[in-house]
Structure 1
Amino acid sequence: MNKFHSLSVLRLSYCELHTIDPLPHVNFSSLVILDLSINYFMSSSFDWFANLNSLVTLNLASSYIQGPIPSGLRNMTSLRFLDLSYNNFASSIPDWLYHITSLEHLDLGSLDIVSNKFQGKLPNDIGNLTSITYLDLSYNALEGDVLRSLGNLCTFQLSNLSYDRPRKSLEFLSLRGNKLSGSFPDTLGECKSLEGLDLGMNQLSGHLPNELGQLESLSSLSIDGNSFSGQIPVSLGGISSLQRLDLSNNLFCGSLSPMLCRRTDKEVNLLESLDISGNLLSGELPNCWMYWRELTMLKLGNNNLTGHIPSSMGSLIWLDCIYTGSNGSCPSFK
């Protein structure tokens, strides 16, 4: 295959490959897309990657690759799509990766059962990924306060727009299941194109800024399993595009009314899933559920809510699941 000088696309996923023999001379000078995903490369060397200078897309997902990221990737300065998810990498993320400024899609994520374990602190150099639209670093062992750098990244992207270049900005960000600390920066409100944001299962704290309401394109927000505190920002209720909101297992307190009841009769939110269980919320449930008619799942348990189930909950005609257990002492709410 190395003799195919004009080959531009090579897909070998699901091929049960265990190794690739060393290539003393690489002739893939025209290769643009290389997909080696879902194989079993336990001991292969990828030194030959260093000569794939024209590569735009590289997919090595779910291939059982161990150790550090192959150093040959550092020469792939044309890369736009890089998927290294669901492998067995165990090292820090190399600094040179943050200098492939053409990257638009970077996936280093995993799950608990199939796990990358990238370690160490994420440096401010992550802000060099000025073309990035999709970034998944979920379920690793990353540390530090990275949110401020990511907020600045969006600010930088916006300030460098030009009339002769199409708009590109961060659309999806997942940092779930790491050891990240720090607070939610106001600058993350500059990520106007953000559609999915998952910061769950970290060590984040502090109050959520009202600037979250500026994320007009946001359809999914998950910040569960942290130590966020204070009241839930009123502005969250104004994001009309929001299809999932998970604020569970934090330290939010106060009433739900400001966020849920800020709307008018002409506004109906698209929210389908709302989980605010496992917090310190108190008071009675608001009587404005008619604004949230698309809800199919509602979890309010393990709070300090009291009182009666409001009549407006009869508007939730699509509701499949509702959980209110372990709340206040009023019998009608049990």
Structure 2
Amino acid sequence: MASTGFDGSIPKEIGNMTSLHSIYLDNNALSGIIPGELFTANIGSIDISNNHFEGFIPSTIEASHDLTYLHLANNRLSGFIPSTVGNLIFLTTLMLYSNNFIGEIPSSICKLRSLQFLHLSDNRPHSSILSQGLALESLNLNSNNLKRILPQTLGNCGKLQVLDIGSNAIQDGFPFWMEDLVDLQVLVLRDNRFNGSMLLPIAYGEISNDAPFVKLQVFDISQNEFSGPLPTRYLTTFPAMMNAKEDFSEKSNWFRKYEESMEFVLKGTNQPLVRILKTFITIDMSKNKFSGKIPDSIGNLNSLKYLNFSYNSLTGHIPSSLGSVKALESLDLSSNRLNGEIPRKLTMLNFLSALNLSVNDLVGEIPQSGGQFSTFDNSSFIRNSGLCGFPLTKNCKQDPMAPPQESEDSNFVDGFSWRPVVLGYGCGFVIGVLMGCFIIKYGSPKWLLQPIFGVQ
């Protein structure tokens, strides 16, 4: 059944239509409670998302034993997620995001061996994270109130492509065990309490490999408490961030069977993205406690589009290798302790549309070019006391060791300048002194005065 113009609630009689295999009533401004009669034995797909339903999920849901697709998102549903959901053994897609569910995520969901897409973001469950589910491809638990550490049993989900557990209260170290999730493409840990160093501990050496996260293209660990040096091991070897190619086919989209936005900080602002192409490649490590230098190896990730290291304690120079990341559209290195000059090679980034180097210790003249770099205003460079030149109002001082500049007005006609004039005055002075000495010694010789003054 396609979307219809229902006004009000779903009539209970709809459950008596035994021939129905699919019910799609999304975006119909429906309200009230979900009738239990909706869940029949023959139903295979139900989509009543983006309405105004309230109350609980009916316990009769277990009667729909052939159900494969259930989309109840963007309503006002509340209470507990019923454990009977675990009896829907053929369920592949469960969308419950943007409701008011509370309590624990039922462990019975772990029994759903066919479940591929589970999205429970923007609810209020207070504990538990799904720890199994071997068929899972996408797990989104963003913006809940999860507090426990990540269970390593998630590593059993070998098909996982998208994991978003951002905006919770998870306190843990970095999950190095996720390196073996070879299909993982999106990893979002932002806005939690993850902490500690991101240097690989010796204990994980046995499971590590030379190319961790082989397909990872979105790496967001911002707004946590990570410390120590940046993880050079990752910033050197993310294979999927190198030489990515445009592909607009349906298979190039991670969100193929549903539309739920994921929020990222892009070009300095929070932007929700509903559909993400394979060429969306971003690293966000901002608002942590990282220190040390930015590795030159960052230039190896030549397909990177968005890079954010802001609000850390990074030192050293901006690596000129960033100029090799030709696809870069946004670069934010603000609020660190970076020093040295801005590499002139950055002016070669023709797609760069957002730049923030403010609040650092950079020095020297801001490099100019006729390209994209010259379009940035002073907000990209402010609070660097040693920087000068356009677009800042601070002019660069002339090098005191450089020769004085000559203007056209200081030259004489026909190429004469101050140099021959000084030379002429010097020669005349020397000749005058010699003649005075000669006259004093020998008197006034007539042979000299006669041709000048006419003396006889």
TM-score tier, shorter chain, comes to 0.7 to 0.9
Query: Could you list the per-position Cα deviations for residues 272-325 of structure 1 after superposition, in whole angstroms to 9, with x for gaps in the alignment?
Result: 00000011100111111243111000000110001101124x421695665111
2-side partners of 1:26 and 1:331: how far apart? Answer: 69
Q: Does the alignment pair 1:325 with 2:382?
A: yes
2-side partners of 1:317 and 1:331: how far apart? Answer: 15
2:146 aligns with 118
1:113 aligns with none
Most deviating of 77-86 and 7-16:
7-16
Query: Could you list the per-position Cα deviations for residues 232-267 of structure 1 after superposition, in whole angstroms to 9, with x for gaps in the alignment?
Result: 111112212112100001111101134335x4xxxx
2:175 aligns with 147
SS at match of 2:197: coil
Q: Equivalent of 1:230, from 282, 292, 313?
A: 292
1:166 aligns with none
Question: How do 1:91-240 residues align onto structure 2 when only pairs under 5 Å count?
Answer: 91-93=127-129, 97-110=130-143, 116-151=144-179, 153-154=180-181, 157=182, 169-185=183-199, 187=208, 189-211=211-233, 212-218=235-241, 219-240=281-302
CA change 1:295–1:177 in 2 (3 A) is same
CA change 1:88–1:198 in 2 (3 A) is same
Percent pairwise identity: 31
Q: Equivalent of 1:287, from 321, 324, 344?
A: 344
CA contact (8 A) 2:359 2:383 kept: yes
Q: CA deviation at 1:37?
A: 0.4
2-side partners of 1:318 and 1:194: how far apart? Answer: 33
Q: CA deviation at 1:329?
A: 3.5
1-side partners of 2:40 and 2:236: how far apart? Answer: 52
2-side partners of 1:25 and 1:311: how far apart? Answer: 65
Q: Equivalent of 1:301, from 358, 369, 382?
A: 358
Q: Does the alignment pair 1:245 with 2:307?
A: yes
Letter in 1 for 2:355: L
State the structure with bigger RCO (CA 8 A, min sep 6), 1 or 2.
1
2-side partners of 1:293 and 1:37: how far apart? Answer: 41
2-side partners of 1:209 and 1:139: how far apart? Answer: 22
2:371 aligns with 315
CA change 1:70–1:258 in 2 (3 A) is same
Letter in 1 for 2:65: S
1:269 aligns with 326
Question: How do 1:4-19 residues align onto structure 2 when only pairs under 5 Å count?
Answer: 4-19=40-55
Letter in 2 for 1:88: R
SS at match of 1:197: strand
Query: Could you list the per-position Cα deviations for residues 84-111 of structure 1 after superposition, in whole angstroms to 9, with x for gaps in the alignment?
Result: 0111121242xxx22211111000002x
Letter in 1 for 2:137: E
2-side partners of 1:38 and 1:297: how far apart? Answer: 33
CA change 1:44–1:227 in 2 (3 A) is closer
Q: CA deviation at 1:17?
A: 1.4
CA change 1:25–1:61 in 2 (3 A) is closer
CA contact (8 A) 2:293 2:315 kept: yes
2:453 aligns with none
Q: CA deviation at 1:77?
A: 2.1
2-side partners of 1:318 and 1:15: how far apart? Answer: 48
SS at match of 2:307: strand
CA contact (8 A) 1:137 1:175 kept: yes
2-side partners of 1:260 and 1:23: how far apart? Answer: 56
Q: Equivalent of 1:70, from 92, 106, 125?
A: 106
1-side partners of 2:353 and 2:174: how far apart? Answer: 33
Structure 2's unaligned 5+ residue stretches are 1-14, 16-37, 201-207, 242-280, 395-456
CA contact (8 A) 2:236 2:298 kept: yes
Q: CA deviation at 1:44?
A: 5.2
1:58 aligns with 94
Query: Which structure has the larger Rg?
Result: 2
CA contact (8 A) 2:65 2:88 kept: yes
Provide TM-score, normalisation by structure 1.
0.84
Q: CA deviation at 1:21?
A: 6.1
2:259 aligns with none
2-side partners of 1:215 and 1:126: how far apart? Answer: 21
CA change 1:119–1:36 in 2 (3 A) is same
Most deviating of 134-143 and 42-51:
42-51
CA contact (8 A) 2:368 2:374 kept: no
SS at match of 1:288: helix
1-side partners of 2:83 and 2:152: how far apart? Answer: 28
RMSD across aligned C-alpha pairs, in angstroms?
2.3
Letter in 2 for 1:274: L
Most deviating of 241-250 and 17-26:
17-26
More helix by share: 2
Q: CA deviation at 1:28?
A: 1.0
Question: How do 1:74-85 residues align onto structure 2 when only pairs under 5 Å count?
Answer: 74-85=110-121
CA contact (8 A) 1:191 1:215 kept: yes
